[in-house]
Amino acid sequence: MSFLDEPVGDMAGKVKNGEMRSTDLVEQSLQAIAQVNPKINAYVSVLDEYARRRAATIDTLPAREKARMPLCGIPVAVKDNICTKDLPTTCSSKMLQDFRPPYNATVIEALERAGAVMVGKTNLDEFAMGSSTENSALGPTHNPCKHGYIAGGSSGGSAAAVAADTVPLAVGSDTGGSIRQPSSHCGVVGMKPTYGRVSRYGLVAFASSLDQIGPLARDVRDAGLLLDILSVPDERDSTNAGRAFHHDPTRYSESLEGLTIGKPVEYFAEGLADEVRSSVEKTAEELKQTGAKIVDISLPNMHHAIAAYYIICTAEASSNLARYDGVKYGFRSKNARTLKEMYERTREEGFGAEVKRRVMLGTYVLSSGYYDAYYLKAAKVRTLIKRDFEEAFTRCDAILSPVTPTPAFKIGEKCDDPLQMYLTDIY
């Protein structure tokens, strides 16, 4: 049986009523991983023993306990920058190659309460910094649809895991497109929830004012079910809004009659590949045929977005990654004779090139005399961009947009041009 055959809710229902066993679903998942992962490198660790034990435990639970589990026995993959107690959490970096957190992230606790079975941790650009998974210290993830091409990033491993049919659901994180872009490249559904909807407690921080955990799935219904489970109120995250999303299966079958969808004119200007443009235009026509109204809208400050984003995210990254110094946990250089050398060499040897680049950029924009000129100004521009969207939503219910300017490109094609790589996040 393929995970594509039926919705996640139906599979979980069969485990609850005894028609299907969690152990069988998990074995199917582990066999699929063993078959395809050597080719695509979606997983950095496969938790086979853990998954088999947990599946066996779920199968022995009484019916009344299973009935409370919306993901009863379902295999799930988790991005490897989300803390999992006593299990590897490497962020695909040498800096955390042997790190096993002493606690679970809030979303992992939520998945366990829901009855999910974690079968593996997925590949990502190191510390989630990248758009292609090529910055992983453990090698790039290949697109399951076309070997040799990127799966996207930074949640490329999670998107590829779902696209390759190794799991029906995966969890990723998104700072500036890291769920949405690989989901687009791999042909799956991915969503960055509104900031504060899902707790960030236990997510290894990249840019704290932008990071969000979100779902990846084969279809919108399954993504909605997973978001419902992930979006639990959490007092341990001071930025958590405490506003859960409630999955309602009936909402997905409603007509689009009366729905107004905005199409930003700035998004369809120079720089958008013809292949992407035609795909989005085709979708617009399909939406019209199902009753939606398509209107042109303007987001006049969007051309500032990429500059503001890279100032904000690198500044926050330089602050967040200061904790990796060889003292408290993680990698420590063995080639140092003094404390200062230990700091320097640990960070030199432990971080990859892209992480170093972003830390240096962020340190510069936060340095004395430059904070107001760069970080503060970028924060103000972010507010202007937010206002553009608020104005747009007075005219429409949703916005139709490309996810990335080009289709998936070949692995290695843009590695020597960081600026071109950064521009893939423009939407």
- Tell me the residue length of the chain: 427
Decide: 132 and 150 in contact? Cβ < 8 Å: yes
Place of tokens 């219904």: 221
Decide: 250 and 384 in contact? Cβ < 8 Å: no
- pTM for the predicted model, two decimal places: 0.96
Paired strand residues for 325: none
DSSP string across 59-126: HTS-HHHHTT-TTTT-EEEEETTB--TTS---TTSGGGTT---SS--HHHHHHHHTT-EEEEEE--SG
Task: Report phi then psi at 145, rounded to 5.
Answer: -80, -25
Paired strand residues for 217: 169, 189
Residues with a known catalytic role? 79, 154, 178
Taking Cα atoms as reference points, which of 314, 426, 302, 301 lies closest to residue 370?
314
Which residues of the chain have a pLDDT value below 50?
A: none
Task: Report phi then psi at 43, rounded to 5.
Answer: -110, 135
- Determine the pLDDT at residue 418: 85
Taking Cα atoms as reference points, which of 304, 294, 259, 264 lies closest to residue 391?
264
CA-to-CA separations, 177 to 46, 95, 210, 273, in angstroms, rounded = 26, 24, 10, 18
- Determine the pLDDT at residue 293: 97
Strand bridging mode 189-190 / 260-264: unpaired
- Determine the pLDDT at residue 249: 87
Count of other CB atoms within 10 angstroms of residue 40: 24
Burial bucket for residue 357 (CB in 10 Å: 0-12, 13-18, 19+): middle
Signed CA dihedral, 197, 199, 203, 207: sign only: positive
